[in-house]
Structure 1
Amino acid sequence: MRSIQGRKILVVICVLGAVSGFSLADVYYSPEQLFNNRMSSLQTTILKHLDERLDSFERRIERKLGQQLTAMQRATDNKWLEIDDKILVLKGVIQQNSGAYFSSCRYVPSEFSNVFMIRPSGVNTQPFMAYCEQNYLGGGWIVIHKRFDGSVDFNRNWAEYRDGFGELDGEHWMGLEKIHRITRTGQYELLVVLKDFDGDSKMALYDGFKVDDGGAKFKLFLERFVHGNLGDSLDVSKGARFSTYDQDNDQNPDGSCAQYYTSGWWFKNCMNANLNGPYRQHDKDNKTMNWFAFHNNLQGLKEASMMIREKVTVV
């Protein structure tokens, strides 16, 4: 029975083969042929996935390169802006050297802090270089004192404090004689900016600031504290004459404050602030660069700046 059915199937296959044009050899695959077919199919699938991954990778690379090119373009643009500003500053310096000076840091041709030649109106002296600070309260400040790393020793004698020391673009003291000649010409305000070793910054603004001449031992005139989160520690020095280790002008009956605190300052008896003290964070005798109201103690600060600016009268 099975033999008859088998023959019938074979006859049907042969008839279909004659009609469609395929043979029994096409219907039968050996194990080796099946393996090769599967491997070929697998290879095709793998290559397809690889092509897709490569296309995706190329698109990511193109996006990344585009972002990098954009960043490079922005950096280049910023560099050109810096160059333009330096050219502007250079033009100002050339102008100064040709006989034109700025009467104030308010009028320097730059929005960036830098060193400029100034000659305040009414000052009977030669023009001088000063560091103009533009980053605080609208800018236009003449920096008279700056410390930030302890690279300059501030334990100086009377002549050095009178004439000034340090580099204008680094730590420096302008000099009491220059400060006197500037502040005698009009009304000036004082800004004090301090930073501690934890990175906290504070400032104090005083409504008036003036230094008398050498005959009066560069006596300090200070008006009221008007603004800032620093607190007023300079009030104690109002009316004080300047002292150094070789010229004691303080009111301390027990000895020289300048010698004890190893710095020149407007000592009275003795002080609540000393921005010219030794550059150190801690000292048991308070021989530091300090401002009591910053932390309610006289331990050392990291950075200090004193700057002055003529007051503008609004009519």
Structure 2
Amino acid sequence: MKLHNTTASLKAKFTIDEGEGSYDDCKSLFEDGITNSGVYTVNPDGGTPFKVYCDMETHGGGWTVFQRRQDGSVDFYRYWTDYENGFGDLTGEFWLGLSKIHRLTKEGSNTLRVDLGDFDNNTAYANYSTFSVSDGSTEYILTVGGYSGTAGDSLGSYHNGRRFTTRDNDNDLRSGINCAQQWAGAWWYNSCHYSNLNGRYYKASPEYGKGINWRTWTGYDISLKFSEMKTRRNN
């Protein structure tokens, strides 16, 4: 796996409103012969179309990317409304938005892939054959399982079934503490985390557990350089 870890390299890819939202997702685009990675407009459920970044290269292509960290240019320590609606730059660092992730995953069966990289250019990935996010009425509950990969399971084993928590909306299981405030992020915290991919971006000397962490690969003392979360329909 090659890390797309610079904004310039991503902006060199296609940016196009292919079909004006006539495609459900990036897999639909890929199956129609559109194989350049870049920004496209999709409409998974007949609602309002929205733009996404499509990864057409990794592991068979057709991935709809919903999170990327690569350089610390975007502040991820944000509020509920930000995480619900999305923020950042689709060709750089961004969070697509919980409401859009729900729309992408509410029907059928979906796979989640998490690509990770450290500052020594080591890479790892986690693949989950089951993935969906519920709607806002239930605080976007995460359903994830069926792990395979090289990074170890720091998501399904501890965060499956959890509601999303931000600094201003505490839905975790930790009594008396908001895990998002405690660990400077926003996540499907349990009590609190094995992974924290929306934590602070540290280029050196990270605080324990407050960085971009994936416990089963690099523990809590190392904050990662790169993370990318993406989903693809299984059928």
Q: TM-score per shorter chain, which class?
A: 0.7 to 0.9
Query: What is the identity, as a one-letter code, of the residue corresponding to 2:42?
Result: I
Secondary structure of 1:224's match?
Answer: strand
**Which AA in structure 1 matches 2:37?**
S
Q: How does 1:151-162 map to 2 (within 5 A)?
A: 151-162=73-84
Corresponding residue to 2:102 among 180, 183, 202: 180
TM-score in terms of structure 1 length = 0.66
Residue in 2 that maps onto 1:127: 49
Write the letter of the residue equivalent to 1:302. Answer: K
Mapped pair 1:293 → 2:207: no
- Unaligned stretches of 5+ residues in structure 2: 1-11
Change (3 A) 1:210 1:256: same
Count of paired positions:
219
Matched letter for residue 158 of structure 1: W
**Higher mean C-alpha displacement, 303-312 vs 111-120:** 111-120
Which residue identity is paired with 1:156?
R
**Equivalent residue for 2:206?**
283
Displacement after TM superposition at 1:253 (Å): 1.5
Letter of the structure 1 residue corresponding to residue 134 of structure 2: D
- The 2-side partners of 1:284 and 1:245 are apart by 18
2:89 is aligned, of 156, 167, 173, to 167
CA RMSD of aligned residues (A): 1.8
Q: How does 1:85-234 map to 2 (within 5 A)?
A: 93=17, 96-97=19-20, 101-108=22-29, 109-120=33-44, 123-225=45-147, 227-234=148-155
Q: CA deviation at 1:298?
A: 4.3
Q: Which string of whole-angstrom CA distances, capped at 9 and with x for unpartnered residues, describes residues 133-161 of structure 1? A: 01211010000101100000000100000
1:285 Cα deviation after fit: 3.0
Could you report, residue by residue, the CA deviation over 1:42-68 in whole angstroms, capped at 9, with x for unpaired residues? xxxxxxxxxxxxxxxxxxxxxxxxxxx
Offset, 1:124: 4.1
d(CA) in 2 for partners of 1:201, 1:178:
27
Distance 1:103 1:124 in 2: 9
| Counterpart pick for 1:303 among 226, 229, 233 | 226
Greater Rg by CA: 1
- TM (normalized to structure 2)? 0.88
- 1:50-61 matches, within 5 Å, as none
User: CA contact under 8 A between 2:197 and 2:212: conserved in structure 1?
Assistant: yes
- Higher strand fraction: Structure 1 or Structure 2? 2
- Please give the alpha-carbon distance, in whole angstroms, between the structure 2 residues aligned to 1:135 and 1:143: 12
2:166 maps to a residue whose letter is T
Asked whether the 8 Å contact 1:282–1:288 carries over to 2, the reply is no
- Letter in structure 2 aligned against 1:293: T
Q: Which amino acid is the alignment partner of residue 152 of structure 2?
A: G
- Aligned residue runs from structure 1 range 33-72, under 5 A: none
3-state DSSP class of the match of 1:137? helix
Query: Matches of 1:244 and 1:149 in 2, distance apart?
Result: 22
Is contact 2:119-2:224 (8 Å) kept? yes
User: Can you list the C-alpha shifts for 1:11-68, whole angstroms capped at 9, x where unaligned?
Assistant: xxxxxxxxxxxxxxxxxxxxxxxxxxxxxxxxxxxxxxxxxxxxxxxxxxxxxxxxxx
State the 4+ residue runs in structure 1 displaced beyond 3 angstroms: none
